[in-house]
Amino acid sequence: MSLIITSFCILITISLYILSIKLHEKFPSPFTMPIFLSTVAIIFVLFISGISYEDYTIAKDIMTFLLGPATVALAVPLYRQRKVVFKHIVPVFLGILSGTFITIIVAIYMSSWFRLSTEMTRSFSIKSITIPIASEVAPIIEAHPSLVMLFVMITGMTGAMFGSFFLNIGNVHAPLARGLSFGTISHGIGTSQAMKEGDLQGASSSVAMGLAGIITSLIIPWVLPLLLL
């Protein structure tokens, strides 16, 4: 029975995501973004079908496992645009480094302003790194795994849905800069949106996502205790 439920969950997740892509192509809007629309649709289907989160977890774990290879595959656009990226490697690295630090600091102080618990603050502090890395960092900083996944997903969806809008308002039109913004702030989900804008945006976003994840995993165990004092 569990195999049937797992297979159903995987099938319905993939089907709803494909349907969301088709709807977004026909009715482009931040609220028809596939990652947002399919998430809402999946929650609705699970609710009306009576499938619990625990039942869905097995299917979720299988699909989450595939995020690792999918993340590695992002090296393809990076390879294609390697000359442009490496030509500006110093500003690229400094931008990712500063963006990563600022993201962590803002997350922690926002948590303080809203009087969130220490556990929620720890979980919120790594919201801008991709799930495969966040899931490994969470136990190290004593963050709650489920909260980490929630914050990472919300951050990614928000960045993908509204990132282009805010970049346009800020008059940020350089492809390299736009890609770095997506990857540093909204990791893999933002990178998927950056790739839709162009190869250079996707390549720089891939670099930013990877480096932001590495930098965060290295500094967060040392920086977090200091900022929580």
Read off the pLDDT of residues 92-147 as tens digits, 9 standing for 90 and up. 999 999 999 999 999 999 998 998 899 999 999 999 998 888 989 999 999 998 89
- State the pLDDT at residue 152: 93
- Measured from the Cβ of residue 200, the count of other Cβ atoms closer than 10 Å reads 19
Say what the pLDDT of residue 183 is.
92
Same domain, 152 and 215: yes
Select from 65, 82, 109 the last residue of a domain.
65
The token duo for 40 is 């809402």
Same domain, 118 and 54: no
User: In this structure, what are the phi and psi dihedrals at residue 74, rounded to the nearest 5 degrees?
Assistant: -65, -10
Q: Point out the domain boundary residue: 16, 48, 65.
A: 65
CB 182 within 8 A of CB 161: no
Quick one: 92 and 201 in the same domain? yes
Whole-Å CA distances, 153 to 77, 93, 131, 187: 23, 25, 8, 10
| pLDDT, position 210 | 86
3-state secondary structure of 173: coil
Residue 225, phi-psi category: left (phi > 0), alpha (psi -120 to 50), beta (remainder):
alpha
Contact 111/120 with Cβ under 8 angstroms? Answer: yes
- Mark whether 8 and 108 lie in a shared domain: no
Low-confidence ranges of the chain (pLDDT < 50): none
| 105 and 16 together in one domain | no
Q: Are 199 and 76 in contact (CB under 8 A)?
A: no
Its domain, for residue 121, covers: 72-227
Q: Are residues 56 and 80 in the same domain?
A: no
End-to-end CA distance of the chain: 50
Yes or no: say if 207 and 96 are a contact pair by the CB < 8 Å rule.
yes
Cβ within 8 Å of residue 151, ≥6 positions away: 123, 124, 126, 127
**Any alpha helices (H) in the chain, and if so which ranges?**
2-26, 34-49, 53-65, 67-73, 75-80, 82-87, 89-113, 118-124, 131-140, 145-169, 175-197, 199-227
Q: Model's pTM, two decimal places?
A: 0.81
- Please tell me whether residues 56 and 106 are part of one structural domain: no
pLDDT at res. 148: 92
Looking at 18, 44, 65, the residue that finishes a domain is: 65
The predicted pLDDT at position 116 comes to: 87
Q: What is the pLDDT of residue 212?
A: 92
Q: Are 219 and 108 in contact (CB under 8 A)?
A: no
Based on the fold, state whether residues 180 and 92 are members of the same structural domain: yes
pLDDT value, residue 1: 54
Split into its structural domains, the chain has a count of 2
Judge if 32 and 91 occupy the same domain. Answer: no
Please tell me whether residues 59 and 81 are part of one structural domain. Answer: no
Contacts of 31 (CB under 8 A, 6+ apart): 37, 161
